Amino acid sequence: MPVAKPVSSDGRVIAHIDMDCFYVQVEQRKQPELRGLPTAVVQYNSWKGGALIAVGYEARKFGVKRSMRGDEAKGVCPQIHLVQVPVARGKADLNSYREAGSEVVSILARMGRCERASIDEVYLDLTDAAETMLAETSPESLEVIDDEALKSHILGLKHEDGSDMKENVKAWLCRSDADHRDKLLACGVLIVADLRRQVLQEAQFTCSAGISHNKMLSKLASAMNKPAQQTVVPCSSVQGLLESLPIKKMKQLGGKLGSSLQSELGVNFVGDLLQFSEQKLQEYYGINTGTWLWNIARGISGEEVEGRLLPKSHGSGKTFPGPRALKTLPSVQHWLNELCEELSERLQTDLDQNRRIARTLTLHARAYMSSESDSHKKFPSKSCPLRYGTTKIQEDAMNLFQAGLREYLGPFKVKTQGNQKSGWGITGLSVIASKISDIPSGTSSIMKYFQGQDQLCSPSKLAKDQFELENSCSFSENESNSTLNLVEHMKLPEEEATIKNESSDLESMEHQASRNSLEVPFYSSVSSLKRADFSQETPLPFSGRESHPEPKLTELQSEVSSEEFTFESGRPASEQRVKRNSLRDKGTPSLLKFFRRVDPSCSVQNQVVAQSFDNTNIRSSLVLFVGIARVKMCREGRCGITMSMRLIPR
DNA sequence: ACGGTTGAGACA
DNA sequence: TTGTCTCAA
């Protein structure tokens, strides 16, 4: 349910930028010969020509609509060019669109606080830029106005017959008798026109924009004149706009709440809400939603533009409709593996490009039960701490699925005999990585991070984590989660590791850095360590690694030394073991791991990235370690560092 | 249960 | 915090 936010007496300038039929534009940029031709993007060409997910404006003229099948589109527009969404691992791959969206964001974010609202939409807070322009180069002082700005639509501006629209717009933009807020909007119009021109020049995409005092109105405005146009909403036109705006057109009211307003209160237009007191609306829809409704009826919306250029989660999913439903565990496993592979790749990219790590893995599934009466029950979603590494994510996802399936099937533990089908079917699967946070990189932020992590490392939290990990991700049914095991986990031996780098020879460090990455396995309790557990594109640091998957500490030490690192430990290897449950046969190394060294931002590449740990506490400690390493090396401007870490909290 | 895939946010 | 639900494009 929508929630009202305290509203600053809106002197803000907020823009909503909406890319025009974005996927089509991305494909047309890839294949410029398609420019100007009727084009649509389809996915899954196999059935009836695939489903349209984006339709270019040339094709819309022929009546081609989103969610037509490809064949239908050919029917109404035989000359249409249908471009398929890229496919990877048997599913749609939207990465090229995500990347194109990032290009646009990086252009727009130069001008003010920028929020990436979706793959093709952005909110901008241009208040500061507009205030600055108003103070320095107010539109009324300009004799020449950008032509793109002159093509703007000004909501509520009288359009007299025979009058030149651009002259009208110019007059509005340059009015000297306008109030402060309208003058700010006029500045916003000029700024957005310029930004749109930059997007077109630098990324070759057209977009439409809405400019107003809040997100809600800007969002409405950006959709009013498409493609490649912009619309401004002055205060004076708000009432008229909302008066005749169908309630369902308002963001957040397109669903059940909007329907309820229509059926319960007879509200068909946003303006109809004005009849109801705030109290009345609160009685119907609760405090928050009631106030929110009261506000939007008046064009008031306090939502801030969040300064966020990157997504808060990554997901990979696929549906298996009707006859394609998955009915066996191996088929589920196959598709989960594909989804997890894609997710893992995107997580790795996020780590490399943005220094962010995700901490939670969630699995969603849609299922039906063919025979049982309670076949309407929903498949429960399940989550667990996220461990980096493709095979780990795959394992964890599969375990989450099986936990969900057991719960879904409930007491009906139908033993599936041989090839007999089991009575359930999976029609949708998705894996999501969330709780993404930056790896800290400044001294103060590191201290903050440290304090934050310290709590996470409390013994009770450790035990809780471990407990949850073992319950939600238990690896086999007959391994008990006994109290004894739990206690053992709490008595994890203390570990300290020190890495020294005595080299002051920049030349050799550069050489090291040029190797792109260095993996230092600390310890492995597993005999079959697959390379796939690690980052895939990095070279093996040790020759013969495959044949020595579990190097002894002494070997490790000598190898590391050869990389001008030394590895020290206060304890023999046997005591460094972090005990887990007695699953020696599965690929679950307790504490093993490796550091990647990459840091394009420093002249000497010196970032050490720790990842892929068995529980968040250890991972957190190592992330802290990473931060310290970076700071020390950056601050000292040299390569000699000494770092120590305490892996197990007090 | 051919609008699929992806994402955000509120709430209990 | 986790899991569910809603909404959007």
Write the pLDDT tens digit of every residue in A332-372: 999 999 999 999 999 999 999 999 999 999 999 999 988 76
In a domain, A113, yes or no: yes
Q: What's residue A572's pLDDT?
A: 30
Average of per-residue pLDDT across A52-57: 95
User: Which residue has the closest alpha carbon to C7 C1'?
Assistant: A252
A531 CA → C6 C1’, Å? 42
- Alpha-carbon distance of A367 to A581, in angstroms, equals 32
Instruction: Give the CA-to-C1' distance from A313 to C9 in angstroms.
Output: 17
Phi, psi of A526 (to 5 degrees): -120, 145
The predicted pLDDT at position A156 comes to 95
Question: Which stretch of A461-475, A560-574, A619-633 has the lowest confidence by average pLDDT?
Answer: A560-574
Q: Are A394 and A486 in a shared domain? A: no
Give pLDDT tens digits for A278-288: 999 999 999 99
Structure tokens at A226: 């498409």
Distance A366 CA to C9 C1' (A): 21
A389 and A538 in a single domain? The answer is no
Q: Is A349 part of a structural domain of the chain?
A: yes
* Cα(A57)–Cα(A141) distance, integer angstroms: 37
Give the pLDDT band of residue A419 (cuts 50, 70, 90): low
Query: Is the distance from CB of A94 to CB of A23 less than 8 angstroms?
Result: no
Q: Where are the alpha helices (DSSP H) in A247-317?
A: 256-265, 278-296
Protein-to-nucleotide distance from the CA of A260 to the C1' of B3, whole angstroms: 24
Distance CA A456, CA A335 (A): 34
- Residue A121 designated active-site: yes
Protein residue closest to B2, using CA and C1': A321
Q: Which nucleotide is nearest to A256 (CA to C1')?
A: C6
pLDDT of residue A501: 33
Report phi then psi at A78, rounded to 5: -60, -30
Q: Which residues contact A214 (CB under 8 A, 6 or more apart)?
A: A10, A12, A14, A299, A300, A301, A302, A303
DSSP A323: G
Taking C1' of C1 and every protein CA, the nearest residue is A383
Lowest mean pLDDT among A3-17, A102-116, A263-277, A565-579: A565-579
Q: How far apart are the first and last CA of chain A?
A: 43
**CA–CA distance, A495 with A486 (Å, rounded to integer):** 19
Torsion angles phi and psi, residue A53, rounded to 5 = -115, -10
DSSP calls for A129-187: HHHHHHHHS-GGG-SS--HHHHT-EETT----TT--HHHHHHHHHH-SS--HHHHHHHH
Q: Which residue is nearest to nucleotide B1 (CA to C1')?
A: A322
Nucleotide closest to residue A315 (CA–C1')? B6
Q: A433 CA to B6 C1', in Å?
A: 12
In chain C, which nucleotides are within 7 Å of a protein Cβ? 2-9
- CA–C1' span, A388 to B2, in Å? 34
CATH number of the CATH domain containing A46: 3.40.1170.60
Angstrom distance (rounded) from CA A308 to CA A473:
32
Which residues 225 to 254 of A reach strand C, CB within 7 A?
A: 250-254
User: CATH no. for residue A286?
Assistant: 3.30.70.270
Say whether both A119 and A222 belong to one domain. yes
Q: Looking at A285, A309, A333, which one is the last position of a domain?
A: A309
Residue A204 covered by a domain? yes
**Residue whose CA is minimally distant from B5 C1':** A317
Residue A380, CB, less than 7 Å from strand C?
yes
Q: Residue A650: which residues within 8 A CB-CB, separation 6 or more?
A: none
pLDDT tops 90 at residue A210: yes
Q: Calculate the dihedral angle through the C-alpha atoms of A367, A399, A385, A545, rounding to the nearest 10 degrees.
A: -140
Of A178-192, A221-235, A564-578, which gets the smallest average pLDDT?
A564-578
Any idea which of A32-46, A451-465, A529-543 has the lowest mean pLDDT?
A529-543
Instruction: Tally the domains of chain A.
Output: 4
Judgement on whether residues A304 and A211 belong to the same structural domain of the protein:
yes
Q: Are residues A636 and A573 in the same domain?
A: yes
Residue in the structure block whose two tokens are 């008066």: A243
Cβ burial of A547 (10 Å; 0-12, 13-18, 19+) is: exposed
CA separation for the pair A264, A479 (Å, rounded) = 55
- Each residue of A176-195: pLDDT tens digit? 999 999 999 999 999 999 99
Closest protein residue to C9 (Cα–C1')? A118
Q: Residue A193 half-sphere exposure, CB side, CA atoms within 13 Å?
A: 18
Task: Assess if residue A213 is contained within a domain.
Answer: yes
Determine the nucleotide nearest to A252 by Cα–C1' distance.
C7
Q: How far is the CA of A381 from the C1' of C4 (A)?
A: 9
Please tell me whether residues A147 and A225 are part of one structural domain: yes
Same domain, A576 and A537: yes
Look at residue A252 and tell me if it is in a domain: yes
Q: Is residue A393 domain-resident?
A: yes
Q: Which two tokens stand for residue A257?
A: 């709440």
pLDDT tier at A529 (50, 70, 90 boundaries)?
very low
Closest nucleotide to A54: CA versus each C1': C9
Q: Is A8 within the bounds of a domain?
A: no
Selecting among A58, A121, A341, A470, the annotated active-site residue is A121
Model confidence, pTM: 0.74
What is the pLDDT at residue A3? Answer: 85
Q: Which residue has the tokens 């936010």?
A: A5
Whether A152 and A217 map to the same domain: the answer is yes
Range A329-349 burial, b when 16+ CB lie within 10 A, else e: eeebbebbbbbbbbbbbbbbe
- State mean pLDDT over A437-460: 53
Query: What residues pair up with A569 in beta bridges, in sequence order?
Result: A497
User: Quick one: A122 and A225 in the same domain?
Assistant: yes
Residue A403: CATH number of its domain: 3.30.1490.100
Say whether the CB atom of A516 is under 7 angstroms from strand C: no
The pLDDT confidence band at residue A373, using thresholds 50, 70 and 90, is low
Nucleotides of B under 7 A from a protein CB: 1-11
pLDDT bucket at A441, cuts 50 / 70 / 90: confident
> How much is the pLDDT for A416?
56
**A157, A295: one domain:** yes
Q: Which of A309, A338, A365 is the last residue of a domain?
A: A309
Average pLDDT in the A44-68 region? 91
Residues A539 and A491 both lie in one domain: yes
Spatial neighbors of A636 by CB under 8 A, at least 6 apart, are none
pLDDT at residue number A488: 24
**Closest nt to residue A46, judged CA to C1':** B2
In a domain, A394, yes or no: yes
Mean pLDDT of all residues in A79-105: 95
Shared domain check, A109 and A25:
no
Quote the pLDDT of residue A610. Answer: 36
Q: Quickly state the pLDDT bin for A299 (edges 50, 70, 90).
A: very high
User: What pLDDT score was predicted for residue A562?
Assistant: 25
Predicted pLDDT at A159: 79
Which domain-ending residue is among A309, A340, A363?
A309
Q: Which domain holds residue A36?
A: 19-94
Amino acid sitting at position A58: E
